[in-house]
Structure 1
Amino acid sequence: MNESTSRVKRKCSNLTVNNGKQKNRKSSGRFDFGNYNRYYGYRNMDNGFDPRLEILKERKDLFINKDILDIGCNIGHVTYTLARDFSCKSILGIDIDNLLIQIARKNLRFYCDQSSTNAENLLENINLKTKSSTLTENSNSLTFPDNVSFLHGNYVLYNDHLLKYEEPKYDVILCLSVTKWIHLNWGDDGLIRTFRRIFAQLRKGGVFILEAQSFQSYKKKKLSNKLRKNCFKIKLFPDMFENFLLSEIGFKYSEMLNVSSHSLKGFQRPIQLFFKS
């Protein structure tokens, strides 16, 4: 057994597998992609406000009049706030869970200051716009909510061959608390492919905003057999991401922002910026 394999086995040895057929959707693998439908309920439990937004606000200049992609947008809290308060030219939220995307689209009314009637009209407009073939990066509007849309889909490409079709179209790409789930589902290869796709989709001078979970957080008590097996195979650990993104993916330099404040230690994660020259 080599050192890398031994390291993984030690870190994953206390994982337990849920083999039983349970009615609870979470324990039956419903959230194998980290697609918790009440994620923000406990993520923002302290005061209802996401502290990551306060950190990103310090670099608001990165968002003004820019085309943004939010990978793993969940029900759209961060996506909507960036669209409304950070003067984005456009922002597209993508998530693998179609139910979360449907909820995100309906959540528009909660981010509008207009009357309930106008909010309903805006909701209808954003649904029609999202279903159209024209994505938000082609929009010239700075006005919320015309600058926001959502897309159901898996950002992880099927194979490396598809990377050659990617073109630069975003100024900023966010990946907040998502890498763990990409890692557990598609392993090192899937995560590396995702990093390469992000780099390919960023315009010159673009910024990749990463909030990675620690490897300690991978060790959930209820993982499916697939995720547990994938965990044993991991060799690219989160503490290696920065060096890998700079030396292997091609980012020019990185910048560390503040660690997100939270009463739960598991959510106290650093946010890093990676710049494409």
Structure 2
Amino acid sequence: METQDSHVNSDETKDPGAATYGNFINYYTFNPPENRLGLIPEALLENLGLDSGDEPVLMLDVGCNSGDLSVALYKHLLGKNASGSKLHLLGFDLDQDLILRAEASNPFPRNIQFIPLDITDDAESQICLSSYLEKHKRSRFHLCTCFAVTMWVHLNHGDTGFKSLLARLASLSDYLLLEAQPWKCYRSAARRLRKLGRSDFDHFKALEIRGDMAAHAGQHLEKHCSMELMQSFGNTSWDRSLLLFRRR
């Protein structure tokens, strides 16, 4: 997730844990797409049975930043068939400047769309995403990806926001590919924010959901959101697990 403040402190662009909402204008210089793509099978769509039939396959990327990973994942999953594919990807972020950058560098404008949107704004996101789905005669996205977003929602919206995010993602998707930041990233983000002389995260000290964040996310999805863990693709170089869930 990104911030609405487009005037990012220069120190924050170099530090992956300093910004209040995870807004890094050069995010992919220190965490390039390859860190995740190396773990995600190129045949993922085929493995999930999403490459059969003629209907469009809809993919949602939550907190897409400047779109580098969105585009790279789209190409990764399609290989030589990236142009003119039936796969349609919608990426969104609440930072409008990053969305403008994503749109400007989008090599597949017919199949990939980027929009400014805040996933924590239930009313706005419901209207916008429902409208997109209705155009394709779908009630949910076939595949939703959420990379390194959970911590920022958790820090800024508390335990309730964390659980609401997971429920929202589950309601939007048949399959959910989730990367949740580990607890050590929370501590680092709070410490780096204080070093910049800024106020601490509103909810950090009051959070009751702590520890193994990937496990907490998985438990909530399975117990309360009608999802089940299908596969773990292992950990990235930043020690973050990539977990694939499916709707029960």
Give TM-score, length-normalised by structure 2.
0.73
Match of 2:68 among 48, 71, 77: 77
1:181 paired to 2:152: yes
Q: What SS does the corresponding residue of 2:192 show, helix, strand or coil?
A: coil
- Determine the structure 1 residue equivalent to 2:225: 249
Q: What SS does the corresponding residue of 1:256 show, helix, strand or coil?
A: strand
Tell me how far apart the structure 1 counterparts of residues 63 and 105 of structure 2 sit (CA, whole Å).
16
Q: What SS does the corresponding residue of 1:57 show, helix, strand or coil?
A: coil
Match of 2:216 among 236, 240, 248: 240
- Determine the structure 2 residue equivalent to 1:126: none
Residue type matched to 2:35 in 1? P
- Determine the structure 1 residue equivalent to 2:244: 273
Per the TM alignment, residue 198 of structure 1 is displaced from its structure 2 partner at its CA by 1.3
Unaligned runs of 5+ in 1: 1-22, 113-143
Tell me how far apart the structure 2 counterparts of residues 153 and 256 of structure 1 sit (CA, whole Å).
28
Q: Deviations over 1:124-159 (max 9, x none)?
A: xxxxxxxxxxxxxxxxxxxx4411000101011358
Tell me how far apart the structure 2 counterparts of residues 242 and 271 of structure 1 sit (CA, whole Å).
11
Q: Deviations over 1:35-62 (max 9, x none)?
A: 1001101113xxxx51311222352424
Residue 18 of structure 2 contacts residue 192 of structure 2 at CA under 8 Å; is this kept in 1?
Answer: no
CA, structure 1 residues 30+242, in 2 after alignment: closer, same or farther (shift >3 Å)?
closer
- Determine the structure 1 residue equivalent to 2:111: 147
Residue 157 of structure 1 contacts residue 194 of structure 1 at CA under 8 Å; is this kept in 2?
Answer: no
Q: What SS does the corresponding residue of 2:224 show, helix, strand or coil?
A: helix
Match of 1:211 among 179, 194, 199: 179
Which 10-residue stretch deviates more, 68-77 or 54-63? Answer: 54-63
Per the TM alignment, residue 85 of structure 1 is displaced from its structure 2 partner at its CA by 3.8
Residue 64 of structure 2 contacts residue 93 of structure 2 at CA under 8 Å; is this kept in 1?
Answer: yes
Per the TM alignment, residue 30 of structure 1 is displaced from its structure 2 partner at its CA by 8.7
Tell me how far apart the structure 1 counterparts of residues 95 and 19 of structure 2 sit (CA, whole Å).
9
CA, structure 1 residues 230+154, in 2 after alignment: closer, same or farther (shift >3 Å)?
same
CA, structure 1 residues 24+83, in 2 after alignment: closer, same or farther (shift >3 Å)?
closer
Q: Which runs of 4+ in 1 moved over 4 A?
A: 62-65
Per the TM alignment, residue 26 of structure 1 is displaced from its structure 2 partner at its CA by 5.3
Which structure is larger by alpha-carbon Rg, 1 or 2? 1
Give TM-score, length-normalised by structure 1.
0.66
Residue 84 of structure 1 contacts residue 145 of structure 1 at CA under 8 Å; is this kept in 2?
Answer: no
CA, structure 1 residues 255+30, in 2 after alignment: closer, same or farther (shift >3 Å)?
closer
Unaligned runs of 5+ in 2: 1-7, 79-85, 134-138
- How do residues 61-100 of structure 1 correspond to structure 2 at under 5 angstroms? 61=46, 62=48, 64=51, 66-87=57-78, 89-100=87-98
- Determine the structure 2 residue equivalent to 1:54: 38
Normalized per residue, the structure richer in helix is: 1
Per the TM alignment, residue 259 of structure 1 is displaced from its structure 2 partner at its CA by 1.3
